[in-house]
């Protein structure tokens, strides 16, 4: 799931750097690995749903809400999920560097005990004056409940 979060977050950074991100709804489909599924053996869960992106403008901020459902590719178990992500940033017009901080939380809820997957994270993105991107993971957790 972290890789998907990074992909969406990194794809938004050029839009921030250009001064705006539109408000939009999109359909998406992804596969997430849920380590606590299938009695602890883990399985891929194919999910689909809608994601709402709001933000941009002078404040360099964005917010995602995603709601989705999916099916375990091994067990056929059905899952429901949410993903919330906030990005706040600032750009320095003097040196061309941009810094963004991201917080996200995601969960996939499946049937039975210990089949629910929760993930949180705090990431920092720095885009230097030449457009090179550096990503630091500042914190986070992964839990099965």
CA angle 107, 109, 110 (to 5 degrees): 145
* Contact predicate 125/133, CB 8 Å: yes
Give the pLDDT of residue 63: 82
How high is the pLDDT of residue 57? 56
pLDDT tens for the chain, residues 1 to 145: 444 444 454 455 445 444 555 688 889 899 989 998 998 899 999 999 998 888 765 557 778 899 999 999 999 999 999 988 888 877 776 777 888 888 989 999 999 888 899 999 998 888 888 888 888 888 899 898 8
Ramachandran sector of residue 55 (left: φ over 0; alpha: ψ -120 to 50; beta: rest): left
Q: pTM above the 0.85 mark?
A: no
């Amino acid at each position: 799931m972290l890789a998907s979060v990074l992909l969406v977050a990194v794809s938004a950074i050029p839009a921030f750097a250009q001064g705006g991100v539109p408000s939009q709804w999109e359909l998406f489909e992804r596969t997430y690995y849920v380590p606590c599924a299938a009695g602890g053996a883990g399985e891929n869960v194919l999910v689909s749903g809608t994601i709402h992106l709001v933000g941009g403008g002078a404040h360099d901020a964005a917010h995602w809400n995603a709601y989705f459902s999916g099916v375990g590719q091994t067990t056929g178990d059905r899952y429901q999920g949410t993903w919330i992500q906030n990005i706040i940033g600032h750009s320095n017009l003097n040196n061309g560097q941009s810094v963004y901080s991201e917080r996200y939380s995601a969960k996939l809820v499946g049937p039975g005990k210990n089949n629910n997957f929760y993930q949180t994270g705090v990431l920092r993105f720095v885009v230097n004056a030449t457009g090179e991107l550096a990503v630091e993971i500042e914190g986070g957790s992964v839990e099965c409940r």
